[in-house]
Amino acid sequence: MSAPVAAIDCGTNSIRLLIVRQDESTGEVVELERRLEMVRLGLGVDRTGRFDPVAIERTLEAARGYRRLIDQHGVAPGAVRFVATSATRDASNRDEFIEGIREILGVTPEVISGAEEAALSFLGAVSTLPDLPDEGARLVVDIGGGSTELVLGTTTPTHRISLDMGSVRLTERHLVSDPPSAEQIASATADIDELLDLAAAEVPLDRATVLIGVAGTVTTVTAVAQGHEEYRPDLTHGAALAVEDVTRLCHELLGMTREQRSAHRIIHPGRIDVIGAGALIWARIVQRVSAAAGITRTRTSEHDILDGIARDLLDRQP
C-alpha cells in the first residue's frame, strides 16, 4: 500500500475530507475516510463580498476535526492538499480564513481558479464511472454553492467554463421567500439562462454523448428520485435518470416550502433552504444539453473534485 493522502475541498456550502491510499499491486484506490460538514462558509459573500466571522469559525472548527482524523491515519504533512473554491475566490477578507487553516492544518489553502476546479471535477467523476462508452465526449457538470462548472472531454478536458451561479448564490439573490414566488423563479431562470448562453459559446454542448452530474445538488435530486428512506451513495453513484424525470422532480423541489422539503429525510438539513435553487440550475442545464445533443438521460457520480484532488495527490507520490 502507498502512503495515505488527504484531500480537503472547501466550497461555499460545505467542507469535505477524503483520506485514501493506493494498492500498488492493483492500482485500486482504497478509501479510509470520507467526511462532510455543512458550514455555509459563503453565507452572505455574494451580497457583502466578505466572509462572516461566525462562518469562518464554523469552518475552522470543522478543520480541527479533520486534523485529528488526518493525524489518526498517519498522513504526512506533505500529503495534505486543501483546495478552496468559489466563496474564497470572492471574499475580500479571505486572508483571515487562509491563515486560520494554515495554523490548524499546517498547509496553505489553494484558492484555485474556476478552470482548475472544473478539471479536477472532471477527473474525479470520469475516473470512477466504469461503464461509460469508450467513444464520445462526456460533459461533467458540478453545481456548487457559489459556482457551476461545465467540462467537456473524453479522458481529459477539452473545453471548460466556470459560471458564477450556485445554489447558495441564487437563493440569496432571488429565491428569498418560502416557497419562492413565480416572479423570483422567473428572475433566477433568466440569470441561469444568460450564463448558459455564455457557456454554450465556450463549450460545444452539442458534442456531448453523456451528461454526468456531480456534487450535492445532483446527488440529492437522484436520491429523492430513487425514493430511498436513507441516503445510499452506493446506489446513487452511477444512477441513470430520464431527462423528463429529472426536470419534473427539480421543479417539484423548487416549488416546495422548506417544511415540505424537510419531510424528505434524505435531504441533508444543510441543503433544505438551497436545494430549490440548485435543482433549478440542474433542470435548466439538463434541458439545454438535451435539446443541443439529444441526450435522453443523465448520469450521477458521487465522485467529483474531492476525488480529483486525492487522485492528483496519489499521482504526485514517488
Q: pLDDT digits over 156-208, tens only?
A: 889 988 898 998 889 988 999 989 999 999 999 999 999 999 999 999 999 99
Decide if 150 contacts 139 (C-beta within 8 A).
Answer: yes
Average predicted confidence (pLDDT) for the chain: 88
For residue 119, is it within any domain?
no
Separation CA 130–CA 236 (nearest Å): 14
Q: Using a pLDDT cut of 90, give the percent of the chain over it.
A: 45
Taking 80 as the threshold, does the pLDDT of residue 95 lie above it? yes
Q: Does residue 70 sit in the same domain as residue 158?
A: no
Domain of residue 147 covers 129-302
Q: Does residue 147 sit in the same domain as residue 262?
A: yes
Q: Does residue 62 sit in the same domain as residue 140?
A: no
Mean pLDDT calculated for residue range 216-238: 85
For residue 122, is it within any domain?
no
Q: Does residue 94 sit in the same domain as residue 155?
A: no
Predicted confidence (pLDDT) per residue in 238-253, tens digit: 888 999 999 999 999 9
Q: Residue 31 belongs to a domain with what CATH number?
A: 3.30.420.40
pLDDT of residue 114: 67
Question: How remote is the C-alpha of 89 from its chain's centroid?
Answer: 16
Picking from 9-13, 280-284, 295-299, which range would have the lowest pLDDT averaged per residue? 9-13
Separation CA 250–CA 235 (nearest Å): 19
Separation CA 75–CA 282 (nearest Å): 36
Q: Does residue 186 sit in the same domain as residue 293?
A: yes
pLDDT of residue 87: 63
For residue 313, is it within any domain?
no
Cβ-in-10-Å burial (0-12, 13-18, 19+) of 315 comes to: exposed
Taking 80 as the threshold, does the pLDDT of residue 115 lie above it? no
Picking from 116-120, 135-139, 282-286, 310-314, which range would have the lowest pLDDT averaged per residue? 116-120
For residue 271, is it within any domain?
yes
Bridging pattern class, strands 5-10 and 14-22: antiparallel
Q: Does residue 86 sit in the same domain as residue 134?
A: no
pLDDT range class, residue 210, cuts 50, 70, 90: very high
pLDDT of residue 224: 87
For residue 123, is it within any domain?
no
For residue 248, is it within any domain?
yes
Separation CA 165–CA 152 (nearest Å): 18
Q: Residue 209 belongs to a domain with what CATH number?
A: 3.30.420.150
Separation CA 117–CA 72 (nearest Å): 28
Cell numbers at 259, concatenated:
417544511
- Other beta carbons within 10 angstroms of residue 52's beta carbon come to 17
In angstroms, how far is the first alpha carbon of the chain from the final one? 13
Decide if 171 contacts 277 (C-beta within 8 A).
Answer: yes
Mean pLDDT calculated for residue range 39-55: 82
Q: Does residue 83 sit in the same domain as residue 142?
A: no
pLDDT of residue 188: 93
For residue 149, is it within any domain?
yes
Predicted confidence (pLDDT) per residue in 259-276, tens digit: 988 888 888 887 888 899
Q: Does residue 98 sit in the same domain as residue 198?
A: no
For residue 289, is it within any domain?
yes
Q: Does residue 165 sit in the same domain as residue 298?
A: yes
Report which of residues 280 and 314 the model is more confident about: 280
Q: Which of 292, 124, 304 is nearest to 209 (CA)?
A: 292
Mean pLDDT calculated for residue range 270-286: 91
Peptide bond into 179 cis (omega under 30): yes
**Total domain count, the chain:** 2
Q: Does residue 162 sit in the same domain as residue 191?
A: yes
Q: Does residue 84 sit in the same domain as residue 180?
A: no
Mean pLDDT calculated for residue range 216-220: 90
Q: Which of 32, 39, 47, 34 is nearest to 13 (CA)?
A: 39
